[in-house]
């Protein structure tokens, strides 16, 4: 069970901008194991999105190396090793919800029957059954985001990369989606990398919390969570939970070194 | 369904306005005894239309069906295909686009006689003028449409490791459709103008432009107005037809969403 699924060593990425170089990532090393739920937390601009995009081969590191499923990120992308959930749902408005979820399946050449079966299954998973024929703009933001998660789950990728998927949603919807996501993770045993701004969200969801700090973007702390896999929402009131949350907060504060 | 203006408002109101204008026009011409050569009354124009239906029909077939619509079809398809090629091959973007730009700047009074020399007096030369006129608006709008996807939509395709053709058919072409229809709406109007005006530079003894220019010489002003009425009606119907298809194809676009 301890196979390394994503392995970064001394990873650096510098963007050349008009205002000079921006060190989005500097000497980042991290191992993510099979079945881990890893959260990335840190102030905005600390390179969380960039790190996730490097894993997805959407961005190319300027130093160090990264492997995904034991091969290069580019090869992993060609192998369709991961599903990516963006910060915004990004559903195509000319396709129904069902059509959007079918999009990756069509591209990857799944049979018609298989497509229909998978669409029905993931819609149920995110509790959107009955909305298959609706268009994205007929749904609330939370439902759209759930559909985008379903889209990333529809094909057989055992890695899920999620960039602040619930960032724009209100607290109650967010709690509910967190519960659903956790249940889904337990059931599917996927490896999940999850970017968030919220300390409670990170602690509630993760087996491993990666605290990052900006300028240059780097990892300032990695916390392995002692919480059990089974986590009711009430776990957030337990002393263990609060203790981890404290440690995350301390890590964030130490990495900051200034106030803004 | 709510918030939609009723059928009466959408069709009845403009119709009412139109009738009011015609009535005032009639009263004005009769009341002030305006010479027929200056401005015929609507009733006289109507009489001319009834008297000359056969001629008007022959002219309409010659100018609209053969000249304008053939040219529009060929020009639109050519502009669209050229846009796809230019989009795919950067070398064409540098080479072909400036040439297309140059051709678009040619004045119709220069193009029309040349086309008559190349393709003869009949409708083929008129269709050729229309092709030259509509090619560029379609080309430019399609190119703009193909570039109109946002980064996240394209990144999503990349995470699926989609081919160029898949990205084109499943993302970029659907996203381009609102732009393509803008080009088509401009072109529909241009096509009619082009086909009529081109007949001033040589045509067989039929066609709307031919008729207008000869009837002006013979002071048959009511016939001139009859042709103008037919061309205005044709233009309106043609434009409305394009709008109808647009509404059907780009139903998902924010400007088209209604009653869904
Ligand atoms: N494409 C890009 N070009 C230039 N700079 C970028 C680009 N993407 C991100 N950056 C910069 O890299 C840094 C890290 O960005 P990002 O990874 O988006 O941070 P986070 O997701 O943690 O908020 C920021 O300073 C950001 O401005
Ligand atoms: Mg980010």
Say whether both B108 and B196 belong to one domain: yes
pLDDT by residue (tens digit) across A66-86? Answer: 999 989 999 999 999 999 999
| A103 within a domain of the structure (yes/no) | yes
pLDDT of residue A189: 85
DSSP assigned state of A225: -
Asked if residue B168 and residue B214 are part of one domain, the reply reads: yes
Determine the structural domain holding residue B138 and report its residue range.
Answer: 44-256
Based on the fold, state whether residues B214 and B107 are members of the same structural domain.
Answer: yes
Q: pLDDT band at B6, cuts 50/70/90?
A: confident
Regarding whether B134 and B190 lie in a shared domain, the answer is yes
Residue range(s) defining the domain that contains residue A182: 4-27+44-233
CB contacts < 8 A, A to B, total 50
**The pLDDT of residue A259:** 46
B237-255: average pLDDT: 93
A86 lies in some domain: yes
Using CB atoms, pick whichever of B152, B170, B253 lies closest to residue A90. Answer: B152
The answer on B70 and B4 residing in a single domain is no
| B133 lies in the same domain as B20 | no
Question: Does residue B10 form part of some domain?
Answer: yes
Cβ-Cβ contacts under 8 Å, A162 against chain B: none
Both B210 and B142 in a single domain?
Answer: yes
Are residues B58 and B144 both part of a single domain?
yes
A84 with B159: Cβ contact below 8 A: yes
Please indicate, yes or no, whether residues B7 and B55 belong to a single structural domain of this protein. no
Assess whether B21 and B65 both reside in one domain. no
What is the least distance, in Å, from the CA of B154 to any CA of chain A? 10
> Does ligand 1 have an atom closer than 6 angstroms to the CB of A167?
no
Mean pLDDT of B39-44: 90
pLDDT, residue A210, reads 94
For the residues B64-80, what does the mean pLDDT come to? 95
Tell the residue nearest (CA) to atom 3 of ligand 1.
A15
Domain count, chain A: 1
User: Is B254 exposed, middle or buried, given 0-12, 13-18 or 19+ CB atoms closer than 10 A?
Assistant: exposed
Mean pLDDT value across residues A83-112: 94
Instruction: Quick: pLDDT tens for A138-184.
Output: 999 889 999 999 999 899 888 999 999 888 778 887 888 888 889 88
* B69/chain A closest Cα distance in angstroms: 29
Q: Do the domain assignments include residue B39?
A: no
Cβ atoms A184, A125 nearer than 8 A: yes
Give the ligand 1 atom nearest the CA of A17. Answer: 4
CB A41 within 8 A of CB A252: yes
**B207: region left, alpha or beta (phi > 0 left; psi from -120 to 50 alpha):** left
Q: What average pLDDT does range A91-118 have in this prediction?
A: 95
A246 domain-assigned: no
Bridge partners for A195 per DSSP = A40, A163
Question: Number of folded domains in chain B?
Answer: 2
Tell whether B226 and B179 lie within a shared domain.
Answer: yes
Write down the mean pLDDT value for chain B: 90
Bridge partners of B43, per DSSP, are none
Asked which of A1-15, A132-146, B132-146 is least confident by mean pLDDT, the reply is: A1-15
Instruction: Give the nearest chain A residue to B164 (CA atoms).
Output: A107
Taking a contact as any Cβ pair under 8 Å apart, which residues of chain B between 153 and 182 contact chain A?
153, 155-162, 166, 170-171, 174
Question: How confident is the model over A58-69, as a mean pLDDT?
Answer: 93
| CATH number of the domain encompassing residue A60 | 3.40.50.300
Contact A93 B252 (CB under 8 A): yes
Q: CB under 8 Å to B5, separation ≥6 — which residues?
A: none
Give the model's pLDDT for residue A166.
87
Angle between helices B90-104 and B123-146 (to 10 degrees): 130
**B129 and B243 share one domain:** yes
Ligand found nearest the CA of A17: 1
Chain B residue numbers with beta carbons less than 8 Å from the beta carbon of A80 are: 160-161
pLDDT of residue B5: 67
Amino acid A123: pLDDT: 92
Q: What share of chain B in percent tops pLDDT 70?
A: 97
**Cβ–Cβ of A82/B159 closer than 8 Å?**
yes
User: What confidence score (pLDDT) does residue B1 get?
Assistant: 44
Residue % of chain A over a pLDDT of 70: 97
pLDDT in tens, A221-236: 899 988 888 888 888 8
Quick one: which atom of ligand 1 is closest to the CA of A47?
17
pTM > 0.90: no
What is the per-residue DSSP string for B112-135? HHHHHHHH-SSHHHHHHHHHHHHH
A245 lies in a domain? no
* Residue A45 Cα to ligand 1 middle (Å): 6
pLDDT at B232 exceeding the cut of 80: yes
Is pLDDT of A252 > 90?
no
pLDDT value, residue B260 = 52
Nearest ligand atom owner, CA of A87: 2
- Per-residue pLDDT of A134-148, as tens digits, reads 999 999 988 999 999
The mean pLDDT value for B109-129 works out to 91
The whole-number average pLDDT for the span B84-109 is 84
Output the pLDDT for position A215.
86
pLDDT band at A1 (very low <50, low <70, confident <90, very high): very low
CATH of the domain at B59: 1.10.3720.10
Average pLDDT over residues B138-154: 93
Q: Which helix (H) or strand (E) holds A84?
A: strand A82-85
Q: Is A116 inside any structural domain? A: yes
Query: Does some domain include residue A197?
Result: yes
Q: What backbone phi and psi angles, to 5 degrees, belong to B124? A: -60, -40
In a domain, A238, yes or no: no
């Amino acid at each position: 069970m301890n196979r390394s699924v994503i392995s970064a060593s001394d990873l650096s990425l510098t963007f050349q901008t008009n205002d000079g170089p921006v060190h989005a990532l500097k000497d980042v090393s991290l191992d993510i194991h099979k079945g881990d739920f890893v959260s990335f937390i840190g102030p905005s601009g600390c390179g969380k999105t960039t790190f996730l995009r490097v894993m997805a081969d959407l961005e190319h590191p300027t130093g160090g190396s990264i492997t995904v499923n034991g091969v290069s990120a580019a090869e992993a992308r060609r192998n369709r090793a991961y599903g990516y959930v963006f910060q915004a749902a990004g559903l195509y408005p000319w396709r129904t919800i069902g059509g959007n979820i079918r999009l990756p399946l069509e591209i990857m050449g799944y049979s018609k029957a298989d497509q229909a079966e998978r669409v029905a299954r993931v819609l149920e998973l995110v509790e959107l059954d009955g909305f298959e024929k609706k268009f994205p703009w007929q749904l609330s933001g939370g439902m759209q985001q759930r559909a985008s998660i379903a889209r990333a789950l529809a094909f057989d990728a055992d890695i899920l990369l999620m960039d602040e998927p619930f960032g724009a949603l209100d607290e109650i919807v967010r709690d509910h989606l967190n519960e659903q996501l956790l249940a889904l993770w337990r059931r599917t045993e996927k490896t999940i990398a999850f970017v968030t701004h919220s300390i409670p969200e990170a602690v509630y969801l993760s087996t491993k919390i990666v605290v990052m700090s900006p300028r240059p973007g780097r990892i300032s702390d990695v916390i392995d969570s002692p919480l059990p896999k089974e986590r009711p929402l009430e776990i957030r009131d337990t002393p263990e939970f609060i203790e981890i949350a404290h440690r995350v907060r301390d890590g964030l504060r130490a990495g900051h070194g200034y106030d803004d | 369904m709510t918030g939609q203006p009723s059928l009466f408002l959408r069709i009845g109101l403009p119709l009412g306005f139109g009738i009011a204008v015609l009535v005032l026009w009639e009263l004005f011409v009769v009341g002030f005894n305006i010479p027929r050569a200056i401005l015929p009354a609507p009733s006289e124009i109507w009489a001319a239309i009834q008297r000359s239906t056969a001629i008007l029909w022959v002219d309409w077939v010659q100018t609209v069906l053969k000249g304008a619509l053939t040219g529009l079809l060929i020009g639109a398809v050519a502009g669209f295909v050229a846009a796809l090629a230019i989009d795919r091959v950067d070398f064409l973007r540098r080479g072909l686009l400036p040439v297309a730009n140059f051709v678009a700047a040619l004045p119709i009074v220069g193009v029309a006689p040349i086309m008559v020399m190349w393709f003869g007096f009949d409708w083929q030369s008129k269709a050729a003028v229309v092709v030259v006129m509509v090619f560029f608006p379609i080309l430019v709008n399609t190119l703009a449409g193909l570039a109109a996807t946002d980064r996240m939509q394209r990144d999503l395709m990349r995470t699926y490791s989609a081919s160029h053709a898949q990205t084109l058919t499943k993302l970029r072409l659907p996203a381009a459709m609102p732009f393509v229809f803008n080009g088509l709406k401009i072109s529909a109007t241009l096509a009619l103008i082009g086909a009529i005006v081109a007949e001033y530079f040589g045509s067989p003894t039929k066609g709307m432009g031919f008729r207008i220019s000869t009837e002006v010489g013979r002071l048959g002003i009511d016939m001139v107005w009859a042709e103008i009425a037919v061309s205005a009606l044709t233009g309106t119907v043609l434009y409305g037809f394009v709008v109808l298809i647009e509404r059907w194809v780009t139903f998902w676009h924010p400007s088209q969403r209604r009653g869904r």
